[in-house]
Structure 1
Amino acid sequence: MEEIIKTNQLQKKFGKFQALTDVTFSVKAGEVTGFIGPNGAGKSTTIRILLGIIKRSAGQAKIFGKDVWKDSLDIHKRISYVPGDVSLWGNLSGGEIIDLFMKLMVVETNKSERH
């Protein structure tokens, strides 16, 4: 089965602090994977590296066989990420927020077609 995500000895340092040490795992097509662990375990740091938001200090990280740093634009055409701590408007449900964004997109598209 094709490996969708693959890390090999992934490391990240913030100054002298070693946030990740030799993280190695893979996720194959069709598998569901989750990160669990205490605060400070490196879950968010690993995800941010995979998304190309921060650069790894050492090791390898690939999604769809592409380097997560060098090929982040190509990778982002096929993936998305919503962090768990996002809070837009507390009085709207997730579906209502999506509906609002869709309406805004339609208005913006119509506006740009007129110009």
Structure 2
Amino acid sequence: MTTAIIELDHLQKNFGKFAALKDVSFTLAPGQVLGFLGPNGAGKSTTIRAILGLLKKSGGSVTVFGKDAWRDDAAIHSRIAYVPGDVY
């Protein structure tokens, strides 16, 4: 069995009392393509930032290449590129 490229398991992110992400789970296998679609405020950017280890999760788990997105962010960043849409 191959390691998932990205795996979210019951990801949660709270900003104070506001729950930005509630129980987000999915697995991205090698060779799959994933797109984030949704209205403003749906949690797309928050999810991506948690995957990149730029934002600490409130609950659940996030792994990229089998590594913890928060603890192993430097190792993960050496293998990926990210260009946000809101570059100033």
By relative contact order (CA 8 Å, sep 6+), the higher-ranking structure is 2
Cα deviation digits, residues 43-92 of structure 1 (max 9, x gap):
000000011111000000000000000000000010110012335xxxxx
Alignment of 1:1-115 (within 5 A): 1-86=2-87
Question: Identity of paired residues, percent?
Answer: 59
Cα deviation digits, residues 11-65 of structure 1 (max 9, x gap):
0000000000000001011111000001111000000001111100000000000
Instruction: Give 4+ residue runs of structure 1 displaced > 2 Å after superposition.
Output: none
- Give aligned pairs, total: 87
Asked if the contact 2:13/2:59 (under 8 Å) is kept, the reply is: yes
Name the SS for the 1:3 alignment partner.
coil
Gapped runs of 5+ residues in structure 1?
88-115
TM-score normalized by the length of structure 1: 0.73
Gapped runs of 5+ residues in structure 2?
none
Greater strand share, 1 or 2?
2
Greater helix share, 1 or 2?
1
Structure whose alpha-carbon radius of gyration is higher = 1
